[in-house]
Structure 1
């Protein structure tokens, strides 16, 4: 009994430490050093993903400790010294029903929220803003079909170009800008090979396939800059293809749209962006 109580107490303590540490260490919008948990959720989808992740963690921990407890009991009570005359029991109806029904209940407990989360992710609500992200080797191009015919490229900043508060390998020259508390539909396609558009804090990850338009959505509930990366191996510079999403107020978004229309409406690219793209391609 003392061993059993110790294991149960240890399990609860370990679960509490992991939960608190994960919440404390996970940062908003980008990874942090020694991070244990998921990035802090910035959308309803990610909040549901984090909740489901924690549910699975508790279930897996309970099952693992239960199996460990059984192993300890067997080793202590049924070794040759403690139990020189082993039982010859061939079956136990109650036990067999239990080890069939309990796993079924556990799987149902996992399946119900799993399907609810899947449908929540896949059912795209009425969008307030539509963004098209085109994956290219090795940068992203963004356009806003509902806000005019303009498109711009987004390339990773080199170390010499970064500001002190911009994260290395994640900061870009042109952010994807969206309004806060608005449903954003993201249309994703690849221009050359398969890429993947992924932003952990939003709980989105979808392949960018040439010739196929995939869709996902998010609704950012807090302003700020949220980083992601291409998550599909796409060539030698796959690791240098970040995503930066800047969430702003409605007024700031409207002003940014007007400014960006004037800058990119003719389809011309910033000479520095073109030069950077050419250098990246040559390498």
Structure 2
């Protein structure tokens, strides 16, 4: 991690922590001194992340969770507080995407699943995290948007709709808690070198090259570059930043 933050004595909660941006951010919190609760629907990958965090010397709690299920999210947040005593910062990162299709061709099952994970999942997290943070007197929440929060994304109908909505939800929550000690922001990654991006590009060299071609900086971003911004948004260095969507996209949205 290029930037140094001090999260000693803090508790972080990260969803989608089994791989990619979520794993890198959970590790960044741990390296910065935080105790970390990690959630993901993929229990095997989650255990891999937990091993990496444990190797840093930080405490970690493993929480297999489907964020589309409100009851599972509530249990995960409450378990975090039961284990660590508090919740200081959360990164709501879990997401999925739908097959390329025009609106008329989108399968309802695909639409419902993407909205359930990417939008309702963020709402579920916000709902229970905010309740804890209100009771303890404050905290910081970062939601994962995307460049698709600002522009239509390459035929991904449900993904585009869900990521636009995440920014709206972020702004609403930020205003709800602006005078109550909780800051809520979003990070908007561009094309980042993750397993999800590889899946999106078809796992081919040609697909990867096409993604690189979309980036003005001429490369894919690293998950650690997103983690840096998430840790900044969650820190006191961003104490007057709330309701903001920060693009970390290599210039994608500047075109």
Query: In which range does the TM-score fall when normalised by the shorter chain?
Result: under 0.3
Q: TM-score, normalised by structure 2?
A: 0.22
**Which has the higher Rg, Structure 1 or Structure 2?**
1
More helix by proportion, 1 or 2?
A: 2
